[in-house]
Structure 1
Amino acid sequence: MPEDLLVLLREIDTPTVCNAIEVVQGKRGFSRFTRGTMLHSKPGASAIVGFARTAKIAGLMPPTEPIDVTRARRMDYFRSMAVGQGPTAAVIEDLDFPNCIAGWWGEVNVAVHKGLGLMGAVTNGVMRDLDVIDDGFPVLAGSIGPSHGFVHVVEIGEPVNIMGIEIAQDELIHADRHGALVIPSDVIMSLKDAIRTVITNESIVLGPAREPGFDIKKLEEVWLKFEAART
């Protein structure tokens, strides 16, 4: 991915990316985004942009496998998180959803994943330690809770379902406090221009709306131009 596109994606919000994807596709109806309200660890942080490193966890009940097996799988998980085409982001499905209790994303795991070079995390599960987790590694989660439960890694590198969307290993994601989406591979190289188009089109209305003297007559005038320009 071009560096200038990566910088741009980190600066803009996920709704703008969602609109820009539809500009590239030439129609409305893009649907690979999360449903429902998610919670963000650092609402003012830059967007999470990265190629997905996927895994599944659980924590409501103790693991049934021997402890050496679960410990070995956890280290295999960290090895998987540490590799991949950069930039990368952790995308972790909690299989106990919607009854998740296991706060995988707390002070320790945020520090570890940040240290391994990932850009952030998206999960349908639990985050905690919000007052002390490191800056520079935002987490978008399904809930907040105090416990780690019996958290253990179940699968590594397989497709995951996060709040209604399936995300495969190495798919490019964009996420902020609005939610997360998958950027289709065939739109990536056209996305920079499409983002500029979205911003330009919206300025047709936003500029006049924020000026003194804006009224319904002016709205009728600029809205016609806006409708003609937007997807």
Structure 2
Amino acid sequence: MDAALLKLLQAVDTPTVCNAIEVAQGKRGFNDFTRGTMQCSAPGEAMVGYARTARIRAVTPPEEAPEVIKARRMAYYKYMAEGPRPGVAVVQDMDGEMAIGAYWGEVNTNIHKAFGLSGALTNGVMRDLGDLPEGFPVVAGSIGPSHGFVHVIDFDQSVEVFGMTVAPGALVHADQHGAVAIPEDVIPQLSDAIAALMRSEKIVFDAVKGKQIDFEGFEAVWAAFEAART
């Protein structure tokens, strides 16, 4: 990824990226974002990277032989250690709303950070809040104390997290608001789209933040705002 674009994406929040995608596409509405309220280990900190995907379960013990589970887990770690950077671990917990296995705790977050990943996105569970490494935010479905019978089912497949489908290699942005998968054709336009978005929003903010405005004044500001967006 272009270094300037990466720095920009690390500095903005996920709603800004969603709005910028609409600016780049020239229309409202797209589907590649999470639905519902998620938990964030580091509010105010964004993760940006190409998705390294996997699926897990934890409610029931694995039925395969221990050596099979161990071999798959090590193959998973090898997969997470490789691939393009920046990277984000995107892990679907197949237990869904019944998820109880805190896969993302102090040990696993430090391992994945050491692999060069910039964060983890999951519909599953995290734990060890306060002991997770700086610079590795986790955006998860819930918080819980135990890892249960957590085990890796597979990896390098498309996954679904809170209604958002993520293919391996998709560019993901996530923070305390949730996550978005940035459409590939938008990436070359994203820097300009974010700049245009910020210019247009500044028109409104300069007129209303910490101030009073009557409706006639607002009409003029809104007209200038809409003209700047088109």
Could you tell me the TM-score, scaled by structure 1's length?
A: 0.97
Q: Which whole-Å CA distance do the structure 1 matches of 2:175 and 2:221 have between them?
A: 30
Q: Which whole-Å CA distance do the structure 1 matches of 2:114 and 2:210 have between them?
A: 46
Q: Which whole-Å CA distance do the structure 2 matches of 1:64 and 1:97 have between them?
A: 19
Structure 1 residues 132-211: aligned runs within 5 Å:
132-211=131-210
Gaps of 5+ in 2: none
Letter in 2 for 1:157: D
Matched, 1:7 2:27: no
Instruction: For residue 227 of structure 1, report the CA deviation from its aligned partner.
Output: 2.3
Matched, 1:29 2:34: no
Residues 118-149 of structure 1 show CA distances to partners (whole Å, capped at 9, x for unaligned) of 00000000000002111110000011111100
Letter in 1 for 2:7: V
Residues 152-203 of structure 1 show CA distances to partners (whole Å, capped at 9, x for unaligned) of 0001100000000110111100001111011111111110000000101111
Residues 2-41 of structure 1 show CA distances to partners (whole Å, capped at 9, x for unaligned) of 1000000000011111111111111111110000001100
Q: Which whole-Å CA distance do the structure 2 matches of 1:102 and 1:115 have between them?
A: 22
Letter in 2 for 1:223: W
Q: Which whole-Å CA distance do the structure 1 matches of 2:190 and 2:49 have between them?
A: 15
Q: Which whole-Å CA distance do the structure 2 matches of 1:208 and 1:51 have between them?
A: 38
Q: Which whole-Å CA distance do the structure 2 matches of 1:40 and 1:123 have between them?
A: 10
Cα RMSD after superposing both structures: 1.0
Residues 44-84 of structure 1 show CA distances to partners (whole Å, capped at 9, x for unaligned) of 22x11000000000000000001111011101110000000
Letter in 2 for 1:29: G
**Identity among equivalent pairs (%):** 54
Q: Which whole-Å CA distance do the structure 1 matches of 2:172 and 2:214 have between them?
A: 40
Question: What SS class does the counterpart of residue 120 from structure 1 fall into?
Answer: strand
Q: Which whole-Å CA distance do the structure 2 matches of 1:84 and 1:17 have between them?
A: 24
Instruction: For residue 213 of structure 1, report the CA deviation from its aligned partner.
Output: 4.1
- Give the structure 2 partner of residue 226 of structure 1: 225
Deviates more, 1:5-14 or 1:210-219: 210-219
Deviates more, 1:60-69 or 1:205-214: 205-214
Could you tell me the TM-score, scaled by structure 2's length?
A: 0.97
Letter in 2 for 1:87: P
Instruction: For residue 211 of structure 1, report the CA deviation from its aligned partner.
Output: 4.9
